[in-house]
Structure 1
Amino acid sequence: MPHPIAYLSFNGNCKEAMYFYEQTLGGKITVMMSGAESPMAAMMPPESAHRILHARLELPDGGMLYAGDCPQHIPYEGIKGVTFCLNYDTTEEATRIFNALAEGGKITMPVQPAFWAKSWGMLEDKYGTPWNINGVLLPI
């Protein structure tokens, strides 16, 4: 059965965001392709050639995160209607990741106990990506 993969959209700062996620979440960027580097390079408007057409971050547990810059002719409206959830086996690791993602962003719910996890917190990172971070899931 296929696993859903988040595909994030950015407004010209995809490359910066993905390197931040690589450093913060671990894993390795295996694709970072601009419009100029793509097989579609000849069809790309010159003002869009530098924008990231496709990026792929492979996470340590086998998960993936995809991303790209929104085409310039489409108004960028940010990430809406979704929150990305990360579950960790320890509250310490969850808190470390929460704090790293929150740097320069906005904490919407500080780390605290919840009925589904020993620790949980919500934030929007400096790129506008919303996250829920759980430490030690509990049986419910």
Structure 2
Amino acid sequence: MTLRLIPYLVMDGNANEAIRFYEKALEATVMYRQSFGEMPANPDFPLPEEAKERVAHAMLKVGETELMLSDTFPGNPHQSGNQVTICVSTDDVEQARRIFAALAQEGQVHMPLQETFFSPAYGTVTDKFGVTFQVAAEKQR
């Protein structure tokens, strides 16, 4: 069983600029980057033009560490200072469920743990201490 904690930065439309900055400042290597425009289309939620180039998800390698980041979706609130979250990544769906449920106790669920196109179990929750976590079970390859 694998369990990792990964810092996750949420940017407000400038994630591509941040990626270029971290490539230079931290000697980071881009391992993965996907824009909202590259995600599978959902006819129930058409993608606004201003969202297409924003980063939906990116992963950088900094030394031996990973750093994840994305942009907010246009119109979603972004507050400077609260843009750092922690991604809890596991290869075990049941472990993801247990962790999510524990963090949600006396906390606030922003997105219930659910299957997505990129994870068999993904959700976001702010715990009772005000720390926001993204819990994700890794898709089996």
Superposed displacement of residue 18, structure 1:
1.3
Look up the match of 1:77.
79
Asked if structure 2 preserves the Cα contact closer than 8 Å seen for 1:9 and 1:79, the reply is no
1:54 aligns with 57
The 5 A counterparts of 1:68-107 are: 68-80=70-82
Instruction: Give the TM-score, by structure 1 length.
Output: 0.51
Gaps of 5+ in 2: 86-141
Q: Is the 8 A contact 1:9 1:68 kept in 2?
A: yes
What is the root-mean-square deviation of aligned Cα atoms in Å? 2.6
Measure the CA separation in 2 of the matches of 1:33 and 1:7.
15
Q: Which has the larger radius of gyration?
A: 1
Query: Residue 19 of structure 1: SS of its match in structure 2?
Result: helix
Structure 1 partner of 2:30: 29
Partners in 2 of 1:81 and 1:39 — Cα distance? Answer: 25
Asked if the contact 1:30–1:57 (Cα under 8 Å) also holds between the matched residues in 2, the reply is yes
- Alpha carbons of 1:81 and 1:14: their partners in 2 closer, same or farther (altered >3 Å)? closer
Q: How many residues align?
A: 83
Q: Larger relative contact order (C-alpha < 8 A, sep ≥ 6)?
A: 2
- The alpha carbon displacement at 1:37 in A equals 1.6
- Deviations 1:2-32, CA, capped at 9 Å, x for gaps: 2210110111100110111121112310112
Q: Which residue of 2 aligns with 1:7?
A: 8
CA offsets 1:105-129 (integer angstroms, 9 cap, x no match)? xxxxxxxxxxxxxxxxxxxxxxxxx
Secondary structure of 1:71 counterpart: coil
| Cα contact 1:15–1:32 (8 A) shared by 2 | no
Identity %: 30
Contact 1:5 1:64 in 2 (8 A): yes
Q: Which moved more, 1:70-79 or 1:7-16?
A: 70-79
Q: 1:45 & 1:81 partners in 2: Cα distance?
A: 23
Name the residue aligned to 1:91: none
Unmatched 5+ residue regions in structure 1?
Answer: 84-140
1:38 offset after TM fit, Å? 2.0
Q: TM-score, normalised by structure 2?
A: 0.51
Q: CA deviation at 1:75?
A: 1.5
